[in-house]
Structure 1
Amino acid sequence: MPVAFRKASTEWQGTAAEGSGSTTFVSSQAGGPFPVSLTKRTDQEDKTQTNPEELIAAAHSTCYAMAFSNVLSQNDTPPTKLDVDVRVVLDKAGEGFAITKSELTVVGDVPGLDQDQFAKLAADAEQACPVSNVLRGNAEISLKATLKS
């Protein structure tokens, strides 16, 4: 039996090349509608719209922060603070595109750990993160973990 269901929705109008849409977080009602369009998807300068890669990055950073916090707490070294950034990479793949990488970066303030312990527990958390596990095998996942001194 599933533990939870979550729902988001996207309304799209027009062709892929000329159309546009909006995405809304339905289950949480936490945000939206957020504008989306295929033409702006790869525009690095456009700050007015989101895209699937940014949404995956948000999901991965959130999931990883929760997983790492849990791993640290189970180690009796709960974090004071974790800052998690994720950069998702979209590349050309044949005639289309593919998400090829998800690059995790975490900086943590965790009393009672040294850098080696922090890095080991960070890697354990990456293996435990459900979003990492969805991406694994489809995209390269990298992890850079730095203990704040």
Structure 2
Amino acid sequence: MPEKHASVHWEGAGKTGKGQISTETGALKAYPYGFASRFEDDRKGTNPEEILGAAHAGCFTMAFAFALEGAGLAATSIDTKAAVRLVKDGDGFKIDRIALELEAAIPGIDEATFQKIAAGAKAGCPLSKALASVPEITMKATLKS
């Protein structure tokens, strides 16, 4: 399997500096980030936690779709949100929680099977495994009718 690549360019000090995040696919092409977009409510840039949340939601959703397929099922729609919480930790910071919210429409599935497949996808997705040091990764799964 090929490696995936991303890069960052930063100029200046921590609080006053500015950076740009890029991905090899161009999904993020010199996208700005800095102190205000990470620790304040500045919406003019991104931040590592937002990108991590998008990656985790994407990984989990794909794992869920594959798990459904393995059970002979297919979703009409799957929508996932991820909330990543960054908190103060001594002199630094840490991610202490990631909350996944899944909403899916799946013909022919019962609630118990839906919850079991969702829990398995959460546990088995490569990013969930990589993020095992996060103290709390929650999931709320809602089956739409």
Category of TM-score, reference length = shorter chain? over 0.9
Shift of 1:12: 0.3
Equivalent residue for 1:62, pick from 48, 58, 63: 58
SS of the residue 1:86 aligns to? strand
Q: How does 1:1-149 map to 2 (within 5 A)?
A: 3-26=1-24, 28-44=25-41, 46-149=42-145
CA contact (8 A) 2:20 2:31 kept: yes
SS of the residue 1:56 aligns to? helix
Letter of the 2:39 partner, please give it: T
SS of the residue 1:15 aligns to? coil
Letter of the 1:29 partner, please give it: G
Q: CA RMSD in A?
A: 1.1
What are the ranges of 5 or more consecutive residues in structure 1 without an aligned counterpart? none
- TM-score of the aligned structures, taking structure 1 as reference length: 0.93
- TM-score of the aligned structures, taking structure 2 as reference length: 0.95
Shift of 1:138: 2.8
What are the ranges of 5 or more consecutive residues in structure 2 without an aligned counterpart? none
Shift of 1:40: 3.0
1-side partners of 2:6 and 2:135: how far apart? Answer: 23
**Number of residues paired by the alignment?**
145
Shift of 1:114: 1.6
Letter of the 2:22 partner, please give it: T
Name the % identity. Answer: 37
SS of the residue 1:40 aligns to? helix
2-side partners of 1:42 and 1:114: how far apart? Answer: 42
